[in-house]
Amino acid sequence: MHDVSWGTKGDNKVSTDLGVVTTGKNKNEVEVAVPTTENDIDAAYEDAILVLTTKAPKANPKPDPATQQEDYYRSFRTNVLLAWTLSNVCVTYQIDGRWFQLTFFQALLTAGIV
């Protein structure tokens, strides 16, 4: 119906590998490799700290021309929708402005603002 975007384009992909779980001989068992020695745990911790402190390179992918054209059309349709909505508000106010003013000021009086 409309193309109002909330800025989440491209945020639906998982960018990290979360690992793999393997099943054992029995289908109800899962095999997980867990480090048990203190050196293995410390090494895994240091690796995790290094990964967390290292900033990922900033990627600025240039969208292809088809995507740019599609975004332009979406933006245009969104702006037309906004202009249409605002023009309807203006027409409604012109036709029934007295009721709008009374209702608006009554709401302000009720809220104690005026």
pLDDT digits (tens, 9 = 90+) for 77-94: 999 999 999 999 888 877
Instruction: Report d(CA 33, CA 28) in Å as an integer.
Output: 17
Amino acid type, 43:
A
Determine if residue 7 is left, alpha or beta; phi over 0 gives left, psi from -120 to 50 gives alpha, anything else beta: left
Query: Does residue 16 surpass a pLDDT of 80?
Result: no
Q: For residues 79, 84, 90 and 92, what is the CA-based torsion angle, rounded to 10 degrees?
A: -150
Neighbour count for residue 87 (Cβ, 10 Å): 10
Per-residue pLDDT at 19: 56
pLDDT digits (tens, 9 = 90+) for 19-70: 556 776 777 877 777 777 888 888 888 988 998 898 888 888 888 899 899 9
Instruction: With cut-offs at 50, 70 and 90, classify the pLDDT of residue 114.
Output: low
Q: What is the pTM of this model?
A: 0.39
Amino acid type, 28:
N
